[in-house]
Amino acid sequence: MRSEPSRSALEEARALVAEDMARVDRLILERLQSEVSLIPELARHLIAAGGKRIRPMLTLLSARMCGYRGEHHLALATAVEFIHTATLLHDDVVDDSDLRRGKATANALWGNKAPVLVGDFLFSRAFQLMVGVGDLEVLGILARASAVIAEGEVLQLVTANDTATSEEAYLRMIAGKTAALFEAACEVGAIVAGRPRGEAAALATYGRSLGMAFQLVDDALDYSAREAELGKAVGDDFRDGKITLPVLVAFARGSEAERAFWRRTLEQVEQTASDLAEAQRLLARHRAIEATLERARAYGRAAHEALAPFPRSPARDALSGLVDFCIERAY
């Protein structure tokens, strides 16, 4: 287990693959081109807006740790980012806030359809990139991950606003919607490097565990972050009526009156101005954020352990550092 200060672990990892990442950035811009100008416009808006590019970075670092010397990891990292962007675009379709702003008249058709179609385009481009790499095993892994992501997202729809969601169902849901792509992004790095099955499986475990930790910390931050650090408004999940682990813990440990509060605010989504503060008070009372972060740390330990078979290297240190970064951004 590493314990050095890792607030900068993300930057260290990025620096290690900076050259590759610059080429991935160029490949992204190149491959989202289309004669239909709305496509690159819309896609660029989201992709250029940044995000941490953590998923393609995982592919680059995994390939590097496995000693890969070719160029195919660049196309795969791009494909991974395209799949991620496609799911983000589809997530944004008709999301709560859009509906609540009541904008659903003239622009609604255009505003909702374009992200769906541009998502489809990026998804198709991702497969074209993979076909270019020419490895059927890699194609199979990412096609399967895409199906599992969709299953996870549907599961999220089904469990949305349902305080009776079990912790198990919740973990299954985030395993699909978040961890599956982390897992595949890492696994294909070993495959493209021609490493034996055991190493690919170890990297898959690393990625899956990291993805689980990442999502759990995200869920905790939504109630506890300083907004500047989160990069989005605290309480978004609450206002959307999303059921996340902190809520499930507080609900399970809460009184009947408290459960009525969660049902009103998250199932009926009837909220007043002071409800977010009350929710945070209840989460604190039941140490629900701590419980969520404890789960995240357990996944983080599993991620570290999965790296153990690999000899120490800058790439392994970077992958290890990313685990610490994901956990520690919660503090």
Of 40, 1, 57, the C-alpha closest to 315 is: 57
Please state the closest distance from residue 130 (CB atom) to a copy of itself, in A. 8
Query: Which residues, numbered 156-215, are part of the site for a copy of itself (CB under 8 A)?
Result: 157-158, 160
Q: Are 237 and 95 in contact (CB under 8 A)?
A: no
Please state the closest distance from residue 244 (CB atom) to a copy of itself, in A. 17
Q: Which of 59, 62, 78, 87 binds a copy of itself (CB under 8 A)?
A: 87
Residue 271 near a copy of itself by CB under 8 A: no
Residue 117 near a copy of itself by CB under 8 A: yes
Measured over the CA atoms of residue 93, residue 326, residue 57 and residue 194, the dihedral's sign is negative
Measured over the CA atoms of residue 188, residue 190, residue 194 and residue 198, the dihedral's sign is negative
Query: Which residues, numbered 244-263, are part of the site for a copy of itself (CB under 8 A)?
Result: none
CA distance 162 to 142: 30
Residue 267 near a copy of itself by CB under 8 A: no
Residue 125 near a copy of itself by CB under 8 A: yes
Q: Which of 39, 175, 266, 293 binds a copy of itself (CB under 8 A)?
A: 39
- Report the amino acid identity of residue 326: C
Contact letters for a copy of itself, residues 128-167 (x by CB under 8 A): x--x--x-x--xx--xx-xx-xxx-xxx-xx-x-------
Query: Binding residues for a copy of itself, how many (CB under 8 A)?
Result: 50
Q: Are 239 and 96 in contact (CB under 8 A)?
A: yes
Please state the closest distance from residue 47 (CB atom) to a copy of itself, in A. 16
Q: Using DSSP, how many helices (H) and how many strands (E) does the chain show? A: 18, 0
- Token pair recorded at residue 71: 């160029």
For 104, 106, 115, the CA distances from 109, given in Å and listed in that order, are: 8, 7, 11
Q: Which of 90, 286, 304, 329 binds a copy of itself (CB under 8 A)?
A: 90
Nearer to a copy of itself, 92 or 258 (CB): 92
Nearer to a copy of itself, 130 or 245 (CB): 130
> For residue 142, what are the contacts with CB-CB under 8 A and spacing of at least 6?
79, 80, 83, 126, 127, 130, 184, 188
CA distance 250 to 243: 11
Task: Name the residues that contact a copy of itself, by CB under 8 A.
Answer: 34-36, 38-39, 86-87, 90, 93-96, 99, 104-105, 108-110, 112-114, 116-121, 123-125, 127-128, 131, 134, 136, 139-140, 143-144, 146-147, 149-151, 153-155, 157-158, 160
